Amino acid sequence: MRNSSLLPSVSRFLDDDWNNLFDWRNRNFSSGTTTLPSVNVKETGDEFVVEMAAPGMKKDNFDIQIDNNTLTIRSEMRNENEEQDENGKYTRREFSYQSFQRSFNLNNQVVDDARIQATYEDGILRLVIPKREEAKEKPARQIEVA
């Protein structure tokens, strides 16, 4: 009987130890009061889909890298507004800086990191991480007794 729990499957994707999924020490960095974006991970038979809420960004704000089985997503955005009076004296200047970094350990025996694809649309960064052929879910088959 197949266990329908998502827990072991997601664990295989991120790490061999489910508890490490929530051990974010030294893996996530945020500047100032910026909060880390929420992340959803969904598994299908062929792939994992990671969705990260990052509204207000542009696709050029993201830097996504994979190095030694660690997938790292960074983002940085700077805004600066300046209003001057007619004499050219600066009267008001506002600027903001927002950045974050999140990293995930990938199990390279399960995922095919050479085929990861990323898109950004409507404030959602979406990564599709294909499974290796040998890690894909196989349908049940009947075994004849001889």
* Mean pLDDT rounded to a whole number for the chain: 79
Give mean pLDDT, residues 14-35.
45
pLDDT tens, 102-146? 999 999 899 999 999 999 999 999 999 999 998 888 889 999 998
The 10s digit of each residue's pLDDT in 75-93 is 988 888 878 777 777 677 7
Distance CA 103, CA 65 (A): 9
pLDDT at 30 over 50: no
pLDDT at 95: 77
Domain annotation for the chain: domains and CATH numbers:
6-134 (2.60.40.790)
Which residues is 71 bridged to in the sheet?
66, 104
Q: Which amino acid is at 133?
A: E
Write phi, then psi, for 44 (nearest 5 degrees). -115, -175
Give the CA distances from residue 139 to residues 2, 5, 45, 136, in Å, rounded to whole numbers and listed in that order.
11, 17, 10, 10
Question: Has this prediction a pTM greater than 0.75?
Answer: no
